[in-house]
Amino acid sequence: MTTLNQFKNFTADLNATALMPVLFMGHGSPMNGIEINEFSSKWIDIAQNIPIPQAVLVVSAHWFTKGTRITAMDMPPTIHDFGGFPQALFDVQYPAPGNPKLAQETLELVKFTSIILDHDWGLDHGAWSVIKHMYPNANIPVLQLSIDYTKNAQYHYDLAKELSALRKKGVLILGSGNMVHNLRMMSWEMINGGGYDWAIEANEKFKNAILSKNHQSLINYQTMGSDVMLGIPTPEHYLPLMYTLGLQNEKEGVTLFNDKAVGGSLTMTSVQVG
């Protein structure tokens, strides 16, 4: 796929039922990007059991901006947006191409807000730590969509709905964050598994609402109780979930995977729609 016309021609015959799945990935530690473990193994498995996408659009917790931006360069750089990890993690390069014309088409799809074409960001670890396991050959175009920190969860949910046409064109839309994410309360004693009672309870509330399609309670997460507020001290890791849920249609089911708490105050629980 080298031109937008080729992209459109490839997808012209897809009907309304040929939708790409939508994912929310609990990405956890950057080390998951270079380790083959229970979480990354499932990411590999997912990729092998869904259609090969024409492109991947990632909403990462690690691109928090004023206004909504989309990467629009030919070759997005690999960003190492972390510190204190082994050199092997900083050595990772994920040279997937971008797709500026798809970025422009995405911009044109969205009517209720403006999207800015960005030529400065790239692929942060919320994107590449997951995608490099799913598509190790780096031969599928990857774009990132930023999270506007000035907007509430309803905004992000509504924005996701305007992206739904991309699913018919072979684009895999992937939110990358963690439902429960409170690093200040992390326990090294539970780093390999286990969660505080409040983290488990918050995660159960999230799962029940997801499985029952009670999206409004998830949008209004501030009303879900003190355990949820402990689990979401800041919203950047939670908001990518809004994109996954906003893209779910009424007939689609949902599957949970990697459903585990780690470090006491994080959950890796992930979601597949479709």
Helix spans in 91-141 (H): 100-109, 125-134
pLDDT at res. 1:
39
User: CB neighbours (10 Å) of residue 19?
Assistant: 20
270 pLDDT more than 90: yes
Whether the predicted pLDDT of 145 surpasses 90: yes
User: Per DSSP, what are the bridge partners of residue 115?
Assistant: 68
| 74 confidence band (pLDDT: 50, 70, 90) | very high
**Residue 56 main-chain phi, psi, to 5 deg:** -125, 130
Classify the C-alpha dihedral 222-257-132-199 as positive or negative.
Answer: positive
The pLDDT score that the predictor gives to residue 18 is 81
Per-residue pLDDT for 137 more than 90? yes
Q: Is the pLDDT of residue 11 over 60?
A: no
Residue 87 has pLDDT above 50, yes or no: yes
pLDDT band at 53 (very low <50, low <70, confident <90, very high): very high
pTM (2 decimals)? 0.92
pLDDT tens digits for range 179-218: 999 999 999 999 999 999 999 999 999 999 999 999 999 9
What value does the mean pLDDT take over residues 170-177?
A: 98
Residue 14 clears pLDDT 90, i.e. is over it: no
User: pLDDT: is 146 or 2 the higher one?
Assistant: 146
Q: What tens digit of pLDDT does each residue of 90-133 get?
A: 999 999 999 999 999 999 999 989 999 999 999 999 999 999 99
Secondary structure of residue 147 in the 3-state scheme? strand
pLDDT at 26: 98
Residue 195 in contact with residue 204, Cβ under 8 Å?
Answer: no
